[in-house]
Amino acid sequence: MRTIGTLLFLLFGLSTKLGAIPYCYTQAEERKQWGGTIMQVLALHALVGGDFEAQNPPNKASPNDTTSTAKDSTKESRLNWGVGTSLGLNYMNPDNEREFDYGWRIRYAYMRTPSLERDSHLIGAFVYLHPAPNPYHRLLGAVQTHKDCQGLPDGYPTPFSFLLGTGAILSSNAYGDTQGGYIEVGVAFMKWLAINAEVVYRVSFYPPSARDRYFEQITHSLNLVFNIF
């Protein structure tokens, strides 16, 4: 007991001499660490939007009907919807000391365009870029509700982030299937909440041979993505 008491006394004296203080864990850091990262390691997604310049197959009696060609088809904007899941970390450095942070995810999504009877599977990866992801910048939308234990502004972090992604896309319709790739950019909102949303613009690329199966070489898509932990 005497040894333990001596050890505690020495530790207390050392901490006093070094001016040790408890770690100041802020609300903003807690939101990024728990709501934005830990609770979203595995996430579910619901997507809704539209395909622009989507190639509409001509009216045929059957897929084997050769009386029409790809040139007879039309290009229109078509509504789509989808579901997906992803794995990753939204914030790699959730502390408030940094003026820039990033995250990454690997995602699978299934997309359906009912009017074209088109099914697409997207497998890819993307990164989040978080400019000034802390509660210090009110001009960027951060909401300051109180002071932390160091007297610095605390509250809600900057509410927007940027998204950059790429991957492979596999699509099929009544006339066949094709493979291609895609790139996407977007804006994410309140990634530090377990339920959040994104607006994503995607460009999909297909090989020239896909035109024979009524797939355009380039498709532009705009989607609203809801993310749920």
Q: What is the pLDDT along the chain (229 residues), one digit of tens a residue?
A: 555 555 445 444 544 433 444 457 788 888 888 988 999 999 999 999 998 865 555 544 444 454 444 444 455 668 999 999 999 999 998 888 788 999 999 999 999 988 888 899 999 999 999 998 888 878 877 877 777 777 777 878 889 999 999 999 999 998 899 999 999 999 999 999 999 999 999 999 999 888 888 788 888 999 999 999 7
* Cα 5 off chain centre by: 53
Give the predicted TM-score (pTM) of the model. 0.77
Strand partners, 79: 50
Q: What's the CATH number for 26-61+70-228?
A: 2.40.160.20
Q: How many CB atoms lie within 10 A of CB 134?
A: 25
H-run or E-run covering 30: helix 27-30
Instruction: Find the largest Cα–Cα distance for the chain.
Output: 98
> What is the C-alpha to C-alpha distance for residues 47 and 194, in angstroms, rounded to an integer?
17
Residue 125 phi/psi, 5-degree rounding, is: -140, 155
